Structures are given as structure tokens and as C-alpha cells.
Amino acid sequence: MKERTLTYRQAVAEAIAEEMARDPRVFIMGEDVGLHGGAFGATKGLFEEFGPGRVKDTPLTESVIVGAGVGAALTGMRPIVEIMYIDFMCMAMDSIVNQAAKVKYMFGGHARVPLTIRTAFGAGRGNAAQHSQSLETWLTVVPGLLVVMPSTPYDAKGLLKSAIRNDNPVIVIENKQLYGDSGHVPEDDYLVPIGKAAVRTEGKDVTLIATSRMCSFASSAVEKLSSEGIDVELIDPRTIKPLDMETIAASIAKTHRVVVVNEGPKTGGFSNEVSSKIMDTCFYDLDAPVLRVAAEDVPIPYNAILEAEVIPAEKDILAAVKKVMED
């Protein structure tokens, strides 16, 4: 594969363009995805290349957007639906939870819903409480949905392409703060498999599991901890449903200590689910309790100083790893 660097948003746009060129059933619709190129620039250039018939700007009505996507998927198309902010998925939950996720099962497997829903989440931009949430856990509790959270441009492209080709509804959750990040993205066609975690760094002392943007904080923390003699293995789940417990369990069998990091709230957040699965499958490999690093249980503040205090930071990860090493 040839070496090449793209931003996260460019990787998303390229994945969509390649799949639309490969399969005429693929199209995208959402708020401002056409002429404007998307709220975060992740659909830039698609309207010019494929036209309004396949790059559709929609009204500001999330329930209608997702409902139309479910209908299109059921009738043979492979729609990509963009919901500008994950917060706005609240308005479309009936279509997601009671239609997209269940139709295949309620029709005895005879119906398919090859629907991809892209959405942006996360704090750090001063977007306040209604535009900064991390609601991924809501989606993981719904049987019938697949949920992915790419943390790099490489994974953003490879997981999105896998989602578009999948015959089940897949939620692709992109962090707003990552769109400008750059990374290696091959020119050659490739897929990142849904349901397979990535071991970002290998280590023997502590297993650090971090999702999406938290992987960036975790990676920086790993370097600092290494200089202090703490050898950390960093795992990026990439897919949060289904969760790759095989990779996680293999790491814990080696390190015997775990810290789980996610941007969502600590109460009911995704770190809880990971911790619970670890206790179910890896209890006898643990030499210390599983520690969680997550956001405070408050709505995300608009004020930049308060916002930074609410969401997890590198210092919180450093403190958690050092604490688990004490046990």
C-alpha cells in the first residue's frame, strides 16, 4: 500500500466517494451534506462529483431523515444518513431503535436494512450541553445495531467502507475534535473489519482501553508513563458493539491491571459495559480493581474552563494508571 496522509474528514469523504462509485445503490442524505459539504466538511466534493440525485440535502427533521433511510434500505438501496450531532439522534430514536434495528428479526431474516448512520459527538468546542454529548451507550444497548467509533483517519475510512457494505444497520460515531487530525490512509482499497480492536501500543504492566478521541490522550499518556518505567498496553476497541473481548482478555491475561477511558459520563457510560465484561470473563486474571476514567455526571458546560474540567484529560489517565499500579 502506498504511503499517503489525509485528514480524518478527507478520509470520510473519500470512503463515501469510493463506495458511491463502486455501487450505484449507495447515496447520502442529511442536513447540509450537499453544496455546503457537511457541517464539518466531511462530505466536501461529493455533490459536485455525484449530483443532487445521490447527495441529498434534507429538511432539519432527523426523524424524517432516518425514517427515509430505513425505507430506502428496505427497498434495495444502501443509504448513508448523516445526523449532524449525536444529540439530534434523540429525535430519530424510534426509527433507529424500533425500525432499523428490529425489522430483520421481525420478518424472520427476510428483510435487510443496509443502513449506515454517521454522526458526530463529543465536547471541547464550546458547543454547550445540547451539542456536545457522548451518547454512544444508548445505541449499544439496542440489539440489532452495530456501533463503531474510529479514532484515526485510517480507521475512519476503513470502518465506514465496511459499514456501507454491511447488510445490517451500522452507527458510525465520529468525534468532532478529530476531523482535522492527519494520518496515514493508503490509496489502495481496504476495509477495517467491524468487531476487531486494535492494539496501539504493546505493554506488560497495565492494559489501557480508550475509545475515539480518548485514544489520543491515552497515547500521549502512554509515552509519559513509559519514561517513568510503566509499560502500558493501549487498546482501541474501534467497534464498541460487538466488543472485541478476545483481544482485551488476551491483554489482561498478560498485564493483570486495567484502566478504561471514555468521553461519556461515568454513570451508565461505556466504560461501565467494558468493566462489566472484564469482570465476567477476566476476573481471575486481575490483580487490582478495574478503574474507569470518564466525564463528570453533569451537562457539558459552555464555559471553556468548566468544559475542560468535566471531560477526561491526559492528567486523569496518568493518575488512574499510577493508582492501579499501587494495588
For the chain, what is the total number of helices (H) and then of strands (E)?
12, 14
| Residue for grid cell 430505513 | 70
> Any catalytic annotation for residue 131?
yes
C-alpha to C-alpha distance for 325 and 308, rounded to whole angstroms? 26
Catalytic residue chosen out of the listed positions 131, 136, 233, 273: 131
CB 282 within 8 A of CB 252: yes
**304 CA to centre of own chain:** 24
Q: Tell the burial category of 256 from Cβ atoms under 10 Å away from its Cβ (0-12, 13-18, 19+).
A: middle
C-alpha to C-alpha distance for 247 and 196, rounded to whole angstroms? 8
C-alpha to C-alpha distance for 59 and 32, rounded to whole angstroms? 9
Nearest Cα to Cα of residue 135 among 240, 270, 40: 270
CB 117 within 8 A of CB 169: yes
Catalytic residue chosen out of the listed positions 62, 136, 233, 307: 62
> Any catalytic annotation for residue 62?
yes
CA dihedral 143, 145, 146, 148 (to 10 degrees): -110
State the Cα angle at 20 between 16 and 21, rounded to 5°: 120
C-alpha to C-alpha distance for 144 and 140, rounded to whole angstroms? 9
The set of catalytic residues is: 62, 131
